[in-house]
Amino acid sequence: MVASLRALVLILALAVAACAPRLAPPGPGPAAPLMDSTTKEFQTRDGTRLPLRAWLPTDGAAPKALILALHGFNDYSHAFATPGLYLAMQDVATFAYDQRGFGKAPHRGLWAGADVLTADLADAARALRARYPGVPLYLLGDSMGGAVVAATLTGPETPPVDGIILAAPAVWARSAMPLPHRIALWISAHTVPWMDVSGRGLGIQASDNIEMLRALGRDPLVIKETRVDAVHGLVDLMDQALAAAPNLQVPTLLLYGEKDQVIPAEPILRFWRDLPATARPHQRRALYADGWHMLLRDLQAKVVLDDIAHWIEDPQAPLPSGAEARALARLDAKAE
């Protein structure tokens, strides 16, 4: 009986090992990180070429600030088309690339690993800084992109930036998830990692901009069904992002919508509360009463973009929306 039990345990262990989560393979070899405006590509340190988009000041003026923007899970750099055009009119240049496994980047649908995604961001920031010496550089992370930004700024390769903007950052870590969710994810990722899942039927609405959502549904570059092991990798990244809060010392603008149905409020508020007290004067929080998860593309996106533009212009000035007072009130209420 004991021998049979041991054999069963061994068989199960081998089965789990054989179905471990899969990571995307690395690029062809070492290369100098480079942002190439001619080919519209960002070349990473391992030679991977990632599609690059840029929105420059519309009047041909030199940019007064730079934004390096990272898209969310299953999205791609086109996510910043509208924000990029708006910010260009404020003489702020926005650059965005398709992160590995998304959009037109190689190995579509495969998770690259948090360490790879953060290294890519660090290299892209340094390449952009070298291209525009002396121009203030900000990182803008949308949802999963926000998690990559937070993990990068507290990792071993922190790039020199002037501030970060986190729009509904993906910080729904395991510590904030119900235990059954965590167990189901681990079992699925280690038994059927190749299985595709989707959010259909969950009743989750990401934005009040219905036309935009329909366009995303028609866009072949937006991933509609996701490998389970990619979700597992995303949660690993969210673990890192939530844990990063106490060590974030850079000027930060934190944005969240009251109507967000994708990232729950509790881990967001925990992230806000865990920021280091010594950096609080340089870290601003904004809570939008009519904001959904896709804050930069909601119907009220201009309100959010105005706050971003004003914060870049003067990080200490009041935000035009008044959303900061709502955020502070929510934090105070949570503390009671």
CA distance 146 to 81: 18
What tokens were used for 2?
A: 């004991």
With beta carbons less than 8 A apart as the criterion, state whether 153 and 178 touch.
no
The per-residue pLDDT for 203 is: 82
What CATH code is assigned to 20-335? 3.40.50.1820
What pLDDT does residue 335 have?
A: 61
Output the tens digit of pLDDT for each of the chain's 336 residues.
444 444 433 333 444 445 688 899 999 999 999 998 788 999 999 999 999 999 999 878 899 999 999 999 999 999 999 999 999 999 999 999 999 999 999 999 999 999 999 999 999 999 999 999 999 999 999 999 999 999 999 988 899 999 999 999 999 999 999 998 899 899 889 888 888 887 776 789 999 999 999 999 999 999 999 999 999 999 999 999 999 999 999 999 999 999 999 999 999 999 999 999 876 778 999 999 999 999 999 999 999 999 999 999 999 999 999 999 999 998 887 665
**φ, ψ at 65 (rounded to 5°):** -155, 160
Q: In the prediction, which pLDDT does 7 show?
A: 43
